[in-house]
Structures are given as structure tokens and as C-alpha cells.
Amino acid sequence: MQDRIEGVKKLFTSKSARVETNKGESYYRDLFDQCQARLNDLRSSQPINRLDFSELLEDNGVDRRDFMKWVSATTAMLMLPPMFSPLVAEAAELMNRAPVIWLEYQDCAGNSEALLRSDGPKIDSIILDVISLEFHETLQAASGFQAEKQLEDAIETFKGKFLLFIEGSIPMGMNGQFGTIGASGETYYDNFMRISKDAAAVIAVGACATFGGVPAAAPNPTGAVGVMEILKGKPLINIPACPANPANMVGVIVHYILTGQVPELDSLLRPKFAFGYRIHDNCERRAHFDAGEYVEEWGDEGAKNNFCLYKMGCKGPMTFNNCSIVRYNEAVNWPIGVGHGCIGCSEPFFWDKYSYERVMADAKIKAPTGGVERSADEFGLGLLTAAGIGIGIHAVVSAIGGKKDEGGEA
Ligand code: SF4
Ligand code: SF4
């Protein structure tokens, strides 16, 4: 945890990440007031489930100090100034107002695993417990017809209000017959189109759901595609990587609770707060790259001295992601940190284009331009301008309040 906080702080002071801040105090004050008003609305509404975040933290041995460390890391990750920390803490406590349906198609459940499998229940995974996860076939006890009913009930109850998380690609070959669900044999494609129509927004997690991933690798026998190829007329947020970093998944949900808006996205629909950084620009081996010190062969002296992995095929110079800062497994480490080059898993078609140990120059691929220079300080743009798409969180809690008033515990 401390590593993650230090990493995020380092990012904000690093040369590559320094940006012109042209937003004054009044901008952030307005943004703060809008977020505060949203959270007040939420707090005055009924939660969807009865789970108490503070109690869960206590039950899992997470003290207030650890929680506040997580809050400051998450606030910084979302590109917000420290004054927003109390609001981020409040947003975490109000996670039980967010209805989520999580569907898996052509996947390995690696993104769900990444979110769940820490060495003990940590804050990101506790947050997953607190959100109102109405359907997740890997995690839920229900199966068969009972599970199908649970899904249909959730869609009906939260029509137009739920966040739809998609893990895995969607096979389009043979009229979608490579992937079907349930006794009716509904194809993944039909299932996705039917359910996404009633979602407030769709969040594609992992390389497969975003850009097709490994199932879409040549020769792509099932005609696998990512969600962005087929979704029309709905807000979509892509959180690629293999697996998607749990911190980024939680960051998107915190942003949703805080603002009810889709965060600022790049041209591939990735949140800029997470994908506005090039791996190479914040890599701990960058000084060796600049000095021309490379690993030339696995196990050589360069490898022992943590030299740059460029000549071993590292694709960090062309990959946008924040894993060099946020890291994986509760900030314990990340791929380059343990000695293997980046394989560009958060970029489209990474399996065919990037995931081999061949030097970029030999592979005749060009590094992209852009990135970190224009990412910071853009968090609030979606909220204060017309660019962001509202996803109606107030309507969610109002609807639930109404349902309760009609006589039931939701
Ligand atoms: S290891 Fe990769 S990302 Fe790091 S400095 Fe070298 S080429 Fe760049
Ligand atoms: S270092 Fe590269 S391949 Fe590894 S997780 Fe990050 S983006 Fe993916």
C-alpha cells in the first residue's frame, strides 16, 4: 500500500508527468461542491444492500490509517487534489448504492480473480463486496435456472440504472454459435445485446472484452470481438490489460459514485486517469534505457543489475497504462519490476502485435505519441462541461426508495 502511495506521489513530481495546471482554485471548488451535493443525495437515500463498509473494514483487520492511505492513493490516481480525499472516503462508504451486473463471455475470469485474489481481503476487494453485485456467475451461489432468474430479476429491478461489467470477448463467427448461455442456447452476442440495452453504462474489463484479446488473436477462429465493436448508443468505458488492474476497476466505480459521470476517455475509450501514461515514461528502469544499459540475454549481468529490457522485446515505449505506478497485487510488484518486458497488454491486438520477445525495431512497429502530458488535471472536465455522459445515479436510488416504499426490503 505504501508503495502505491509513494508511486502515485512520485508520478506527480516526475518530469514526464508534470503538466501545466490551468485550473484555478474556483474550478476545484465548483467541482467539490457538485460532488458533495451528489454524495449528500446518495447518503439520504436507502442503500441497495445492508453491508456496512466500516464494519467490513474492521472485520477484515483494516484500520482507519490503512483506509486513509488507500483514500489518498485513490484520490491522487483519479487526478484530484488532496482536498477531495474526504469525498473519496465518503464515496467508498456509499458503494452499496451502485447496482452492478457482471457478465462473462469468452474469458478466463482473470479480471475477477485479480480483483478477488489478494493475500488477504484488502480494500479494493472489500469494495467489491460492498457494491451491490446483483449477478456474477463466478461468485454467486445460484446456478442453472435459479441463476437465470436472479439475472432477469436484477435487470427488471434496475432497468436503465445498473452498471454492466463485461469480461471476455464475444464470438461473432457461425452466427455467434461458438458461445451460448443456458438451456435456451442464447448466444453471447444476443445475450449481450439484450442486457446492455437496459444498462446505464457498460464497462468492458480486460484485454478480451475491450479489444478481443487472446481469443481474437490470428487466425481468430471464432470471430471474437471486443464490446466496442458491437455496442451502440450506450456509454462505454474500456479498462484493458491482462488482467485489468483492480485499482482501475475500483477507480471507475469510485468516479461513478462521486460524479454519476463517465470519466474523461481517450480515443480508445480508456479512462485518461489510468491510461494517460506511457509505461516507458514512468518505468523504474528508464535511467538504464537513457544510459544505453540493456539486458542482452536472459540471466546476464544486465539482468542481474535490473537494466532496461528494451532489447529483450519490452513494449513499454508503446503501451499506455498506469501499472508502472499503481503496480499489481496490492502494489507488491509489476511485470517489469520482476524482470520481464511489457507485452503491451493494454493496447489493441496486443497478442499478435506485441507479445513476443522481439525488439520493437526488428518488429517494425512504431511507438505512439501523446500520453501523459495532457492527462492530469482533466478529471473534472466530464462533470463541468457537456463532454461527460451522466449515468443517472440519483435516479437509481430514487427508484430503489420507491420500491421499498411499496413495501419491500430491496
Ligand atoms: S524496461 Fe521497457 S519500459 Fe522500462 S525503460 Fe526499458 S524499454 Fe522502457
Ligand atoms: S507492464 Fe505491460 S504487459 Fe505488463 S501489465 Fe503493464 S501494460 Fe500489461
Q: For position 25, what pLDDT does the model report?
A: 81
C-alpha cell at 46: 436507502
Question: Are residues 334 and 221 both part of a single domain?
Answer: no
- For residue 314, the ligand 1 atom closest to its alpha carbon is 2
Question: Are residues 87 and 13 both part of a single domain?
Answer: yes
Predicted TM-score (pTM) of the model is: 0.84
309 is in which domain, residue-wise? 279-369
Give the C-alpha separation, 259 to 39, whole Å.
Answer: 8
Residue 336 near ligand 1, beta carbon < 6 Å: yes
Question: Are residues 230 and 265 both part of a single domain?
Answer: yes
> E strand or H helix at 135, and its extent?
strand 132-136
C-alpha cell at 57: 473494514
- For residue 355, the ligand 2 atom closest to its alpha carbon is 3
Question: Are residues 49 and 127 both part of a single domain?
Answer: yes
| Residue 407: pLDDT over 50 | no
Question: Are residues 237 and 90 both part of a single domain?
Answer: yes
Look at the chain and report how many structural domains it folds into. Answer: 2
Distance of CA 345 from the midpoint of ligand 2 (Å): 5
314 in any annotated domain: yes
108 in any annotated domain: yes
| Residue 37: pLDDT over 70 | yes
- For residue 315, the ligand 1 atom closest to its alpha carbon is 2
| Residue 130: pLDDT over 50 | yes
Q: What share of the chain is helix, strand, coil (3-state, %, to 5)?
A: 50, 10, 40
Give 58-71 as a 3 state SS string. HHCCCCHHHHHHHH
Distance of CA 116 from the midpoint of ligand 1 (Å): 29
Residue 179 near ligand 1, beta carbon < 6 Å: no
| Residue 381: pLDDT over 60 | no
**CB distance 59 to 120 below 8 Å:** no
Question: Are residues 219 and 243 both part of a single domain?
Answer: yes
Within 8 A by CB and 6+ apart from 244, the residues are: 111, 114, 205, 206
| Residue 393: pLDDT over 80 | no
Residue 382 near ligand 2, beta carbon < 6 Å: no
Within 8 A by CB and 6+ apart from 96, the residues are: 47, 48, 49, 50, 51, 53, 130, 131, 132
Find where cell 456509454 sits: 235
C-alpha cell at 72: 489518498
- For residue 319, the ligand 2 atom closest to its alpha carbon is 7
Question: Are residues 158 and 184 both part of a single domain?
Answer: yes
Q: For position 98, what pLDDT does the model report?
A: 79
Residue 342 near ligand 2, beta carbon < 6 Å: yes
Confidence bin at 47 (pLDDT 50/70/90): confident
410 in any annotated domain: no
Instruction: Identify the top-confidence range among 12-16, 133-137, 140-144, 213-217.
Output: 213-217
Question: Are residues 35 and 136 both part of a single domain?
Answer: yes
Tell me if residue 373 falls in helix, strand or coil. helix
Confidence bin at 372 (pLDDT 50/70/90): very low
Please tell me the number of the ligand nearest to residue 290's CA.
1
C-alpha cell at 262: 463517465
Residue 207 near ligand 2, beta carbon < 6 Å: no
Give the C-alpha separation, 225 to 167, whole Å.
Answer: 12
Residue 335 near ligand 2, beta carbon < 6 Å: yes
Question: Are residues 189 and 291 both part of a single domain?
Answer: no
Confidence bin at 144 (pLDDT 50/70/90): confident
What does the chain come to in residues? Answer: 410
175 in any annotated domain: yes
Tell me if residue 28 falls in helix, strand or coil. helix
Q: How many CA atoms lie within 13 A of 57 on its CB side?
A: 17
Residue 143 CA: distances (Å) to CA of 106, 183, 403: 19, 12, 26
- For residue 279, the ligand 1 atom closest to its alpha carbon is 3
Residue 318 near ligand 1, beta carbon < 6 Å: no
Residue 103 near ligand 2, beta carbon < 6 Å: no
Question: Are residues 390 and 362 both part of a single domain?
Answer: no
Q: Write phi, then psi, for 268 (nearest 5 degrees).
A: -100, 15
Residue nearest ligand 1's atom 7 by CA: 310
Question: Are residues 211 and 356 both part of a single domain?
Answer: no
In this structure, what CATH number is given to the domain that contains residue 347? 4.10.480.10
Q: For position 121, what pLDDT does the model report?
A: 58
Q: For position 4, what pLDDT does the model report?
A: 54
Residue 283 near ligand 1, beta carbon < 6 Å: yes
Question: Are residues 237 and 213 both part of a single domain?
Answer: yes
- Angle subtended by helix axes 123-130 and 64-77, to nearest 10: 90
